[in-house]
A and B are shown apart, each in its own frame.
Chain A
Amino acid sequence: DTAVSQTPKYLVTQMGNDKSIKCEQNLGHDTMYWYKQDSKKFLKIMFSYNNKELIINETVPNRFSPKSPDKAHLNLHINSLELGDSAVYFCASSPRQGAAEKLFFGSGTQLSVL
């Protein structure tokens, strides 16, 4: 049973396209996150949601729009993809907003924009 699962694992697309990444957690956690890891392995937070409510929006371009239909799901939609969006995107969850030291990560979505 995968605790935090995200799909797809790999995403190859052309510049200008719109794509979505889906994430689900079965841990019963209240808080979910999106992180971006660049080619130098630098991992940076993009968004966090607590019980479907946006908590952190880390100056991410508004081409990126997260959506949380319920507290077990957090999807990421990206409009007008650019070359610089190529990275690995990780979904994560924690038991509650104040327990971010106990993050559980998914296995990542490798996005390649051509």
Chain B
Amino acid sequence: QKEVEQDPGPLSVPEGAIVSLNCTYSNSAFQYFMWYRQYSRKGPELLMYTYSSGNKEDGRFTAQVDKSSKYISLFIRDSQPSDSATYLCATLYNQGGKLIFGQGTELSVKP
């Protein structure tokens, strides 16, 4: 079992839709949870990070962590074609700096 599981998709939605991206993780010791966005042929860029359980909102993006079920989510409201990318969830394994990534979900937002 991978430490972080993510459905690779692809996921295709019409412009303006609400997108829900999800990951599960296996180790209850994980405390930091991140979402990265990766455009084609580019490096991942940090979208949001949260510490422990709860919600965090930034514009059209909301990150949600439920530690009781080991479930992390990213919601995108009013999705735009420019949101088309691969979205990677990640967790931080202790303070040593080892990020563990999910496989990434490929999202396509159609105009």
Q: What residues make up the interface of A, taking CB atoms closer than 8 Å to B?
A: 4, 31, 33, 40-45, 48, 50, 55-56, 58, 90, 92, 94, 97-98, 100-108
Q: Say how far B2's CB is from chain A's closest CB, in angstroms.
A: 9
Do B42 and A44 touch (CB < 8 A)? no
- Shortest beta-carbon contacts, A-B, top 7: A105-B43, A100-B97, A41-B104, A43-B101, A101-B32, A98-B95, A101-B49
Pick the most buried of B36, B44, B46: most chain A CB atoms within 10 A of its CB.
B44
> Would you give the 0/1 interface string for B30-44, flagging 1 where the beta carbon is closer than 8 Å to chain A?
001010101001111
Q: What residues make up the interface of B, taking CB atoms closer than 8 Å to A?
A: 8, 32, 34, 36, 38, 41-46, 49, 86, 88, 92, 95-99, 101, 103-104, 106
Among A42, A94, A107, contact of B97 (Cβ-Cβ < 8 Å): A94
Known: A41-B8, A41-B103, A102-B49. A90 touches B43 (CB 8 A): yes
